Chains A and B, each alone.
Chain A
Amino acid sequence: MIHISNILLALILLSVLLSLRSNRLMALVKLMAFQGVVVSAVPLVLETSHGVNVNLFLFFLLLVLVKGILIPGLMYRAVKWVVVDREIEPIIGYHASLFAGLIMIVFSVYVTNHLQLAMFSESHKLLMVTGITTMGAGLILLMARRKAITQVIGYLMMENGIYLIGTALAKQVHTQYVVEFAVLLDLIVAVLVMGIVLNDINHTFDDVDTTLMGQLKD
């Protein structure tokens, strides 16, 4: 069982690094869909050692539906409206972002080793490493890109990372489906609202470049 979860975590890290390197918005959306599905599967693989749970499986299906299909679908529609499907001049270049991602992995291994999580199994530690890296890379994506869509994707990646950290740390949350469902609902509405604003930005500015918006400052 441990092997499957390790493969999943490796896939997540791969998607994180690829998204830092990618300059096509469409490719980013596809990567997000892939990452969403893999992230949803992680609790399933980790918890099955205690026996398969019907509720857990149903929740897995719901997560895949939301993170793998619904949210990427919304983003896909947003990208279709956009004329320029390419990040022109990122604030931090692709190679530098990729390098920052690699440093983030090293950093999260260091942090996890110093947290003194004696009660953690090996796979939970790796989960923690992946979670911190994903969250950090999401933040990098948020800050280093100009396109509003890429920023949304950065936010989603951060959310995925926090979800992974939560899976590693807080076992009790994953037995309270009402709460998890509410968090998921918030995520959907967040993407919906961001999508609507994105659409308006695209109409008003003819682009989704956030550097065009700079009128409000002190």
Chain B
Amino acid sequence: MLQLVFLIPIIAGIAVFFLPVKIGRMVLIGTAITHLLITALEWFHVTGPLHNKYFSNTPEGMLVLAIMSFLFLFISLYTISYMAEVEMSKEPTFNACMLLFLGAMSMVTIADHIIMLWVAVEATTLMSAPLIFVRRSKESLEATWKYVLICSVGIALALLGCFFIIFSMEMSNIHVPISFSSLSDVADQLNSVWLKAGFIFIVIGYGTKMGLAPMHTWLPDAHSEAPSPASALLSGALLNCAFLGVYRCHQLMHSAGLGDYSSNVLIAFGLASMLVSAIFILNQTDYKRMLAYSSIENMGIIAVGIGIGGLAAFGAMLHMIHHSLIKSSLFLSAGNILLGYGTKSIDKTRGMLRLFPKTGMSFFAGFAGISGFPPFGIFISELLIILGAIQAGRYVAVTIFIFCLILIFAGASRLVMQMIFDENKEDDRLVPETWARALPPIILLLTSMALIIWLPDSLYQTIQSAISSIGGTIHG
């Protein structure tokens, strides 16, 4: 049953290639709803746990899957009215690749076999590449080429890391299936040198995909050149999947007693990502690139939180949920801005509040959310990470962490204020905003707000059991 979660989108995706545009749109929505239903069934274990040779449902996987499925429904609703507006000639290809991409990402979340996980992560790269170059402009071609090549090479290194981990098992003459669940049972007998080497390669490999500096160079290009629904999906769902790959290995390192080592590696990469995005966000002239750098920052925050562990691990998981919701909402709003003004330049998109009140509101609220203001979730998650870091005595890390947050807020707020509040004498509106395109980003923001007031018990339990293996807990 669990496999349906990726089989259905893949079959639907292949079908959409050949179907007429209008039916294709219906299939897109239908699959999104079906996917959410299956995810809900799996979430509440209606079908019972599954332990296949290759797949299994783990709490952390279900968490990523649930976020992705929820986002996808609203992104697909948005896609339909967005696509109707831009009149893209390749729309069937775009919709089909959205579904195939969803299938590949769902496969990542339930993969248990080490190499199956690798196969699924590589598949996400390949399925999302057509989404980026669907417009076939010079810039989007360049972005796609960088994306495919950098990510493929990075992920190839992750395959090498997988081989190292398998070898660490053969070194100690153990023969169990090469899946994360069975490896963690025998983790303390694995050869630690090869395990460490494997972890480094896997962090470099999946970290490339996740956007950790210094392997992040593809990310701003791809996120800014892709059509906005695709950017929202890349930022809100794909980065989490790559993170899941890193997290699985971190869990393995923890059960092998090498948790300190892998934690330090994650904190170092996380802080580097935050610093890099803080530096590059200051002088951005393109609002989609600005959002992309903010994604790099937030992935860094998650890596730091997971590395610190304890209370911060809970914060990191919470951060993953809220970042996905808020950042997708921001990218969808950015799509409305792009349609309305016809440009990605910050200088030419002034006076949004007067010209596009709905979009201006959601963009501003999203920005407040991503900067860590209450009542949005990132406020709580960043607070938990900072508290956890102080509790763990990591004072240097927490100093850099807070410094980067302030720098990014200062840099980005100048740009966003200019976009929203500055006077604009012109009254050019290429495409007026509609509720069909304004509502999905607002709903995503409201979800983030609702989760602050009321965190459902099953979600709380899932986060708890996802982080318990790395010693994370809410009761610091």
Contacts and interface: CB of A to CB of B under 8 A. Distances in A.
Q: Report whether chain A binds chain B.
A: yes
Contacts of B133: 197, 200
B98 to A, nearest CB: 16
Nearest to A185: B119
A218 B159 CA distance: 31
A7 interface: no
A158 to B, nearest CB: 6
Nearest to A143: B153
Contacts of B167: 169-170
B145 A148 contact: yes
A24 interface: no
Interface in B260-298: 280, 283-284, 289
Contact of A172 (B143, B170, B225): B170
B409 interface: no
Contacts of A194: 148-149
Interface of B is mostly: helix
A213 to B, nearest CB: 4
Most chain B CB within a 10 A radius of its CB, from A139, A173, A190: A190
B141 A162 contact: no
A197 B142 contact: no
A204 interface: yes
A196 B90 CA distance: 14
Interface in A164-211: 165-166, 169-173, 176, 178-179, 182-183, 185-186, 189-190, 193-194, 196-197, 200-201, 204-205, 210
A197 B9 CA distance: 24
A204 B137 CA distance: 8
B163 A169 contact: yes
Contact of B170 (A170, A176, A183, A218): A170
Given A151-B149, A155-B152, A197 B118 contact: no
Contacts of B178: 172-173, 176
A218 B280 CA distance: 7
Contacts of B280: 218
Given A158-B153, A216-B225, A169 B143 contact: no
B122 A169 contact: no
Interface in A94-147: 119, 135, 139, 142
B115 A183 contact: yes
Nearest to A132: B160
Given A142-B153, A179-B119, A190-B126, A169 B138 contact: no
Contacts of A190: 122, 125-126, 148, 152
A172 B166 contact: yes
B202 to A, nearest CB: 13
Interface string A12-28: 00000000000000000
Most chain A CB within a 10 A radius of its CB, from B133, B141, B171, B289: B141
Interface in B303-339: none
B144 A197 contact: yes
A153 B167 CA distance: 28
A59 B68 CA distance: 36
A173 B136 CA distance: 39
Contact of B160 (A162, A171, A200, A205): A162
B103 interface: no
A200 B141 CA distance: 8
A215 B146 CA distance: 12
B60 interface: no
A159 B160 CA distance: 10
B156 A186 contact: no
A110 to B, nearest CB: 16
B422 interface: no
A201 B136 CA distance: 9
Interface string A37-79: 0000000000000000000000000000000000000000000
Contacts of B441: none
Given A155-B149, A190-B122, A182 B116 contact: yes
Contacts of A151: 149
A41 B139 CA distance: 41
B153 A155 contact: yes
Given A159-B156, A190-B122, A170 B163 contact: yes
B141 A201 contact: yes
A194 B289 CA distance: 24
Contacts of A213: 138, 141-142, 145
A152 B118 CA distance: 20
B156 A183 contact: no
B145 A197 contact: yes
A61 to B, nearest CB: 21
B137 to A, nearest CB: 8
A112 to B, nearest CB: 13
A183 B166 contact: no
Contact of B164 (A152, A169, A173, A178): A169
Contact of A216 (B115, B143, B159, B283): B143
Contacts of B118: 183
Contacts of B145: 148, 197, 201, 210, 213
Given A158-B156, A186-B123, A200-B133, A179 B116 contact: yes
Interface of B: 54, 113, 115-116, 118-119, 122-123, 125-126, 129-130, 133, 136, 138-139, 141-146, 148-149, 152-153, 156, 159-160, 163-164, 166-167, 169-171, 175, 178, 220-221, 224-225, 280, 283-284, 289
Given A213-B142, A214-B142, 13 more contacts: A162-B163, A169-B170, A171-B170, A172-B169, A173-B166, A178-B54, A179-B119, A182-B115, A183-B118, A196-B130, A215-B142, A216-B142, A216-B225
25 contacts: A148-B145, A155-B149, A158-B153, A165-B160, A169-B170, A170-B163, A170-B166, A170-B167, A172-B178, A178-B54, A182-B115, A182-B119, A186-B119, A186-B122, A193-B126, A193-B148, A197-B141, A197-B145, A200-B141, A201-B141, A204-B138, A204-B141, A210-B145, A215-B139, A215-B142
Interface of A: 119, 135, 139, 142, 148, 151-152, 155, 158-159, 162, 165-166, 169-173, 176, 178-179, 182-183, 185-186, 189-190, 193-194, 196-197, 200-201, 204-205, 210, 213-216, 218
